[in-house]
Chain A
Amino acid sequence: MSLEDIHPKKGQTKAYYDALMKKCDLHLEQMEKELPPSLEKWEDTLRWKGVKRRDFLKWCSVMTAALMLPPIFNGKVARAAEIVSRIPVVWLNFAECTGCTESVLRSSYPDFDTIILETISLEYHETLLAASGYQAEECLEEALEKFPGKFICVIEGAIPMGMDGKYLTIGAKGKTGYEIAKEVTSKAAMVICIGSCSSYGNVQAASPNPTEARGVKDALNISTVNIAGCPPNGVNFVGTLLHYMLFGAIPALDHIGRPLWAYGKRIHDFCERRPHYDAGEFVEEWGDEYAKKGWCLYKMGCKGPYTYANCSRVRFNQGVSWPVMAGHGCMGCTEPKFWDKMAPLEKPIADQALFSLGGEATIDKVGVGLTAATVAGIGVHAVGSVIRGVGKEKEDT
């Protein structure tokens, strides 16, 4: 699916959005009735966090724009945000570093992504769970019983498949990651893979992948919404929840399961350093004069041209900064197998080792070698031809 498919057709814009609005209203009403009641009022939550409703509405506008909806949906997004925290969520951690949780939950001051993530009804989240051991297991079992087919399963981390999945066992009962994932996802309303590990395997699945780690989609053969990134942006996760809240459906996905509203465009095409690329202004060395001027990081190995993500538009940590702004190129962390395919991370793709077995031979070195050999061969052949006299007319006999 491309972005073209989810845009309204020419001349039908009003009818398209009217229908969408109606669908949205119906679904929100239904959700307000069906979802379990929230623990605390949204107004109270905001007051305790010390933020004004006005700021909340500003954030809603940002999310509306990020979701590529027209401004008239602001109110709907606000309504969805108020009840989004009532969806039961089961958050599973597998082979990962908890970086995604950290990145999404922690920030210098609470923004609305964080507040929503802190207030969502997390039935089970190993990092945030007070219970441990058998009690923790009970929490999970209870959640599965209480909300079958209603909860959202969020998975962080790849699933090791080698040795019957025994590279990863969790909890007092020693279940493998694969078993837990299979059981929980079979009862979930929707599976969101947060981070590149659960989406595509990430570093655990990088060559030679001794544990045979895989992304959830490959491991379990189920359809997932992949919020790729290492770590991903909280906005992309919250936006997907809001989309589910608004329309009762997962957002339009690209061919590898990423929401198009967040991963539909390349980093490179919305990069603030892009004018320097077009002008032919590149950083040649870390900390050189050009780096100080903020020129393009393409020659320092920026993989923005090969990476679909909205980092350059949304940025991280409440829009404070993002890798390219901070002065290091993009590593392409939202793409499958990026540790293998984007290597070397601080050199352009042209410098990739030709053979995955290693060695320093880049394609240009090999190419120059082959060209030199060919030219030398031609020289020898030309001299040989003259000596041998192949062009001479033979005497008629």
Chain B
Amino acid sequence: MSNNRLAKKQWTIAMRINHWAMAISILLLIITGFYIGRPFTIGAGETWQKFFTANVRLVHLLFGLILTTMFIWRMYLAFFSRFHADWKDFFAWLDFKNVIKQIKFYTLISTDLPEHTGLYGTLQSAAYGFLLILVFLVVVTGLILYGALHQAGMAALIYGILRPVECMLGGLAGVRFIHHVLTWGFVLFIIVHIYLAFWNDIVYKEGAISSIVSGNVFEKVD
């Protein structure tokens, strides 16, 4: 039984910064988003002393724009990263045989470790692809709501382009509702993502958790 493992670089610094910036943004956006959906009343004090909802909205908008930037950056990395442009890896789920193996492994029917051909496992690739679609949709609906609020400059420019989309989704109310529904997609994703990251770290023993900090995974060498 060999216990030799070799550090192999998997995530570039750009990828890691992108991951954590997205993670922090999404977390803050979920918290502030739920507040905006169902705000609580601050009864005490005079009106002029308070600016809570407006400040929460400011945080929400700020991190919304950071998320937008991070999404664009992530798309750039997927196609043009000099280290490893990973857009093809998002389609690992097209390998159906491996998908079945992976499902068997995850549902504990089989204990054979499925091989990773690309950067992601088969189901992992589908989940991350789903996340990126989710981010795209939430960014688009968010930009519509932002444009309605702030009709000047870049926001107005984007809003002008997106207004037909707003109309299609049933006005600002429809956009707002879809924006709220999408939030729950993120909540569910985060729970499953964190659990499976730990689970994979324990099962594969490649240091999946630390890899997104250090950038290295530890592959077994015989």
Contact = CB atoms under 8 A, between A and B. Distances in A.
A266 B148 CA distance: 8
Interface stretch (A163-171, A272-280, A315-323): A272-280
A336 B38 CA distance: 25
Interface in A335-367: 335-338, 340-342, 348-350, 352, 354, 363-364, 366-367
A187 interface: no
Contacts of B203: 385, 390-391
A341 B170 CA distance: 7
B192 A374 contact: yes
**Helix, strand, loop or mixed for chain B's interface?**
helix
Interface stretch (A50-58, A114-122, A297-305): A297-305
A378 B190 CA distance: 12
Interface in A245-291: 254-256, 265-266, 269, 275-282, 284, 290
A290 B43 contact: yes
A132 interface: no
A363 B181 contact: yes
A209 interface: no
A299 B50 CA distance: 18
Contacts of A284: 41
A149 interface: no
A183 interface: no
A375 interface: yes
B159 interface: yes
**Helix, strand, loop or mixed for chain A's interface?**
helix
Interface string A372-397: 00110010011011001111010110
Most buried by B among A254, A275, A290: A275
B173 A279 contact: no
B170 to A, nearest CB: 5
B163 A290 contact: no
B108 interface: yes
A2 B151 contact: yes
A282 B191 contact: no
B111 A335 contact: no
A393 B1 CA distance: 9
A280 B53 contact: yes
Interface of A: 2-4, 254-256, 265-266, 269, 275-282, 284, 290, 295, 298-299, 303, 305-307, 332, 335-338, 340-342, 348-350, 352, 354, 363-364, 366-367, 370-371, 374-375, 378, 381-382, 384-385, 388-391, 393, 395-396
Q: Which 5 A-B pairs have the closest CB atoms?
A: A367-B184, A306-B172, A280-B52, A278-B54, A279-B50
Given A254-B163, A280-B40, A385-B108, 11 more contacts: A3-B151, A266-B172, A279-B47, A306-B172, A306-B176, A341-B171, A341-B173, A349-B37, A363-B184, A367-B187, A390-B108
